[in-house]
């Protein structure tokens, strides 16, 4: 299988490239392809493509005035979640750091529209709408010169996303680990990629170029992962659950998106939107899209690194 010219147009032969950037470019290209041929009357649903139904989620950025207790919310879509792992020993700890409230005071005090003055405030980030497939990006870049941190960060086979959501008091929202992408190399500018994928029978396989080998989950969980793919499930075997997916809003996704928007002040409060978990949407089973997803991962495993 060879990548199409549409996918390779932004990349160069014989040059090291980044697998995460390639994945996001691929997803956006697939999204745009899904939009082709739609009628003008379908404009309102132009962002409701299979790509965003699978990978799409949304953030809620909130500022709470500590003087009047008023809140200002803003919502942003996402396809991937960038995690800072430089001080985290596990994915759960990195997620905790991501949603931890930040105090705004002194020169950084928040101007409250209700109080009509600068006041102390708390700024926080939380997941508002959960995606069907959760893509976690472990940021291993250590400096602007292409340095890389190879530290081991623990990641679970089963992840409850509920504590990191805006509706954190509801029942568990469990995800099962589905695929792991690993970068082998001393720097971010060179190296090699390979990946692990859990098949429909629950068994794990290592994909390294054209070589596919059976492996145990202990080997999967012991790697210095770069990308982690989790799918909403109930029993860890890949059985899909009837949960609505994504927000259907277009996201300009990429490695720098979340870094730029993380902890961003809410300039304008967005209108509350219906929670995706409560929206009426038809959930897709793994069997419907697993083949295409594994094909993408197979391509990633054959693209030398960045």
Mean pLDDT over 162-169 rounds to 90
Under the banding of pLDDT at 50, 70 and 90, the label for residue 147 is low
Residue 248 has pLDDT above 70, yes or no: no
Query: Which CATH number, 3.30.300.130, 3.90.70.10, 3.30.390.30, 2.40.30.10, labels domain 18-29+48-301?
Result: 3.90.70.10
Which pLDDT belongs to residue 305? Answer: 41
Task: Write the DSSP assignment of 3-59 as a string of letters.
Answer: --HHHHTTS-TTS---HHHHHHHHHHHHHHHHHTT--GGGGGGTT--HHHHHH-EEE
What per-residue confidence (pLDDT) applies to 186?
65
In angstroms, rounded to a whole number, what is the distance separating the alpha carbons of residues 59 and 262? 10
SS3 state at 252 = coil
Q: Is the pLDDT confidence value at 241 over 50?
A: no
Dist CA 198 CA 38 (whole Å): 35
How does residue 235 score in pLDDT terms, banded at 50, 70 and 90? very low
Measure Cα distances from 63 to 83, 104, 124 in Å.
Answer: 21, 9, 7
pLDDT at residue 253 above 60? no
Q: Strands 133-139, 81-84: parallel, antiparallel or unpaired by DSSP?
A: parallel
Give the pLDDT band (50/70/90) at residue 22.
confident
Report whether pLDDT(116) > 90: yes
Model pTM?
Answer: 0.71
Domain segments of the chain as ranges: 18-29+48-301
In the sheet where 121-129 sits, what is the strand order?
71-78, 57-65, 121-129, 102-104
How many residues are listed for the chain in this entry? 306
For position 194, what pLDDT does the model report?
Answer: 92
- Output the pLDDT for position 242: 33
pLDDT tens track for 1-14:
455 565 555 555 55
pLDDT score recorded for residue 220: 96
Q: How far apart (Å, rounded) are the C-alpha atoms in residues 24 and 35?
A: 17
Instruction: Examine the pLDDT at 291 and tell me if it is beyond 70.
Output: no
pLDDT for 45-104, tens place per residue?
A: 556 778 888 898 999 999 999 999 999 999 998 999 999 998 899 999 999 999 999 999
């Amino acid at each position: 299988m060879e990548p199409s010219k549409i996918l390779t147009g932004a990349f160069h032969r014989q040059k090291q490239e980044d697998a995460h950037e390639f994945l996001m470019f691929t997803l956006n290209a697939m999204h745009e392809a899904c939009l082709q041929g739609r009628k003008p009357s379908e404009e309102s649903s132009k962002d409701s493509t299979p790509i965003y139904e699978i990978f799409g989620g949304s953030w809620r950025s909130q500022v709470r005035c500590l003087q009047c207790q008023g809140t200002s919310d803003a919502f942003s879509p996402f396809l991937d979640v960038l995690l800072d792992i430089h001080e985290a020993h596990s994915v759960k700890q990195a997620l905790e750091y991501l949603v931890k409230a930040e105090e705004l005071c002194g020169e950084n005090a928040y101007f409250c529209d209700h109080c009509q003055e600068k006041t102390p405030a708390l700024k926080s980030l939380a997941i508002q709408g959960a995606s069907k497939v959760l893509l976690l990006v472990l940021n291993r870049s250590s400096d602007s010169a292409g340095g890389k941190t190879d530290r081991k960060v623990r990641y679970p086979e089963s992840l409850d996303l509920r504590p990191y959501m805006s509706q954190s008091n509801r029942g568990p929202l469990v995800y099962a680990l589905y695929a792991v992408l690993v970068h082998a190399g001393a720097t971010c500018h060179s190296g090699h990629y390979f990946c692990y994928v859990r098949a429909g029978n629950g068994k794990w396989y290592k994909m390294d170029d054209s070589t596919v080998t059976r492996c145990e989950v202990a080997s999967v969980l012991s790697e210095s992962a770069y990308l982690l793919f989790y799918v909403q499930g109930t029993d860890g075997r890949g059985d899909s659950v009837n949960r609505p997916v994504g927000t259907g809003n277009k996201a300009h996704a990429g490695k720098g998106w979340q870094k730029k928007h993380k902890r961003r002040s809410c300039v304008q409060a967005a209108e509350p939107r219906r929670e995706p978990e409560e929206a009426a949407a038809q959930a897709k089973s793994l069997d419907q899209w697993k083949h295409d997803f594994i094909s993408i991962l197979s391509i990633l495993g054959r693209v030398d690194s960045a």
